[in-house]
């Protein structure tokens, strides 16, 4: 019988291994860089009773308004008398924190001056609200 099919014919096929490697690398890349909404810790905080602070432990808040006026704990004060008022209130406190709340477009010179005055009065820690 006569064999009509060629025996030396090479059969070529597509090698899928490099393609699969690239697809898996892309999958890992997108999984690591994609932020999933709601991804966070679900914790339950203990409920505590509210406590009133003594008058001496209320935070010292210096507000600088848009028109360059100062308020110390919601009382109008001049820049010249701010150092003495802060020093007087900081002496009896263990917490030497002064909160500086400034208007959005307040002059930087005034802000820096209030910060320096607070430091000279004895403040050790600052919180800046802008």
Q: Are 72 and 60 in contact (CB under 8 A)?
A: yes
Residues composing the chain:
130
CATH number, domain with residue 101: 3.30.420.270
Integer-rounded Cα radius of gyration of the chain: 35
State whether residue 43 is helix, strand or coil: coil
Decide if 1 is inside a domain. Answer: no
Render pLDDT for 63-99 as a digit per residue (tens, 0 to 9): 888 888 888 888 888 888 888 888 888 888 878 888 8
Domain tally, the chain: 1
Please state whether 38 falls in left (phi above 0), alpha (psi between -120 and 50) or beta. left
pTM exceeding 0.75: no
How far, in Å, CA of 102 to CA of 129, rounded? Answer: 6
Domain that holds residue 122: 56-129
Render pLDDT for 11-20 as a digit per residue (tens, 0 to 9): 778 888 999 9
Decide if 32 is inside a domain. Answer: no
Render pLDDT for 25-36 as a digit per residue (tens, 0 to 9): 999 998 888 766
């Amino acid at each position: 019988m006569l064999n009509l099919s060629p025996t030396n014919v090479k059969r070529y096929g597509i090698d899928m291994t490099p393609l699969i490697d690239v697809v898996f690398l892309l999958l890992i890349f997108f999984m690591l860089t994609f932020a999933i909404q709601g991804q966070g810790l679900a914790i339950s905080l203990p409920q505590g009773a509210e406590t009133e602070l003594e008058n001496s432990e209320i935070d010292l808040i210096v507000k600088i308004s848009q028109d360059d006026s100062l308020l110390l704990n919601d009382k109008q004060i001049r820049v010249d008398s701010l150092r003495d008022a802060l020093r007087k209130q900081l002496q009896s406190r263990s917490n030497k924190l002064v909160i500086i709340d400034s208007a959005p477009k307040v002059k930087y010179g005034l802000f820096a001056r209030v910060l320096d005055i607070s430091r000279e009065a004895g403040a050790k820690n600052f919180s800046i609200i802008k």
